[in-house]
Amino acid sequence: MSKRNTRSAVVLCALALAAAPLSAAHADAAKDVQIAGRALTFLENGPTGKAVLGVVFDPSKPASVAEKNAVMAAIGGGLSAGAVTLTAKPVEASAVSGVSGVAALYITTGVNVGSAAKAKKLITIGSDPSCATSGACVMSVSADPKVEIIVNRAAAAAVGAVFKAAFRMMIREV
């Protein structure tokens, strides 16, 4: 093998290794958003048809921006999840108190807009379990390593969210 071919192979391997975590993040975001969409269909009087999911992020936090980008990419032009088709709208954390036209908010990791979202009576969903356990989110969803949905009773009550009985058997309430 020539030096040129060896260098090319090394560069390709390095690029593949660097891209692997990015594609995994997108895959996880796609699964998490799919679960979030299906969970919304278990709300009493929940959204059906087309619904906008506000994706809340903090532009000063690279991890928050990366998660927002992954969620936006996963939803693309529309993501069908049961009886609802989600579209996404990016929302800066500082703008949550003025947000309109969204059925729910997807909160990226490290962002806390719980009180602003509660004031707007919006369902908040995060991928970080601590978001729900702390009460900053109504629910957290995770597909890896297994599907886990955590609902915070107090946060759900604060925004008027009532889940169907069948859903409550599939979740962990805190």
- pLDDT in 10s for each residue of the chain, 174 residues: 554 433 333 333 333 333 333 333 434 888 999 999 999 999 998 899 999 999 999 999 999 999 999 999 999 999 998 889 999 999 999 999 999 999 999 999 999 898 889 999 999 999 999 999 999 999 999 988 889 999 999 999 999 999 999 888 889 999
CATH of the domain at 40: 3.40.50.2300
Tell me the pLDDT tens digit for each residue of 74-106. Answer: 999 999 988 899 999 999 999 999 999 999 999
H or E stretch covering 148? strand 148-151
The answer to whether position 10 is within a domain reads no
Structure tokens at 142: 């995770």
The answer to whether position 139 is within a domain reads yes
Other beta carbons less than 10 A from residue 143's beta carbon: 19
The answer to whether position 9 is within a domain reads no
The answer to whether position 7 is within a domain reads no
- Give me the domain span that covers residue 108: 24-173
The answer to whether position 72 is within a domain reads yes
Within the chain, residue ranges assigned H as helices are 3-40, 62-75, 114-119, 129-133, 153-159, 165-168
- Looking at the structure of the chain, the number of domains it has is 1
Please name the residue that has the structure tokens 């889940």. Answer: 163
Q: What's the pTM?
A: 0.82
The answer to whether the CB of 52 falls within 8 A of the CB of 101 is: yes
The answer to whether position 1 is within a domain reads no
DSSP state of 108: P
The answer to whether position 4 is within a domain reads no
Please name the residue that has the structure tokens 């719980």. Answer: 114
CA 129 from chain centre, in angstroms, equals 11
The answer to whether position 98 is within a domain reads yes
